[in-house]
Amino acid sequence: MHNFPRAMQRLIMELSKLPSIGEKSATRLAYHLVSSDRELAQSLTRVMSEALAAVRLCSKCFFLSEEELCPICRDESRDAGMLCVVEKPMDLVALERMHEFNGLYHVLHGVWAPLRGRGPESMKLDELMVRLREGKVTEVVLATSSTVEGDATALYIARLAGELGVKSSRLAQGVPKGGELEYLDDVTLSRAFAGRSVIS
């Protein structure tokens, strides 16, 4: 990387910060953008700026949206009594892909990970509790990852929901331990959702 001009090195460094992009992939991408496809590079720059300006978090579920409420929260045909709690927006996308859940969502934007200095206050947990206290939700489907942190988060939320008289269920353990929802195939996700269990 040291042989490249400084501007190219900075581009490689920034690209390598993206998920699943290592230094080699970042170098290939940077090279392609600056040497052979400048139109694409300019288009990407424009589209990224537009997305950063337009996309924000839904004020209700904290999924990505271009409006105050995302299309899912605005959809009155969805079951407001069912609330599926996920860690990140890509988990919601994975669950929506299977077309089996017709309730609403709540995106935590994290998990309870005390060893990494992330407690309940680092998630959208207060906002979740506000939604549960409204009294419309009868069941919370805890669709956090099957990791130690995901399990701890699910148990914590189940306890809080139980104190409010809201039933909690967890996706079936067809989801492998340590597995992240966004990487699972539709069949595994569908079976896990159908086989969810009540958390007492």
Q: Please give the chain's pLDDT, 200 residues, in tens.
A: 568 899 999 999 999 999 999 999 999 999 888 887 778 888 989 999 999 999 999 999 999 999 999 999 999 999 999 999 999 999 999 999 989 899 999 999 999 877 777 777 778 999 999 999 999 999 999 999 888 888 889 999 999 999 999 999 998 766 666 677 777 777 677 777 777 777 76
Give residue-wise pLDDT tens across range 84-108.
Answer: 999 999 999 999 998 989 999 999 9
CA–CA distance, 43 with 62 (Å, rounded to integer): 28
Spell out the domains of the chain, with CATH numbers in brackets: 6-54 (1.10.8.420), 64-198 (3.40.1360.10)
110: left (phi over 0), alpha (psi -120 to 50) or beta: left
Q: pTM of the entire structure?
A: 0.79
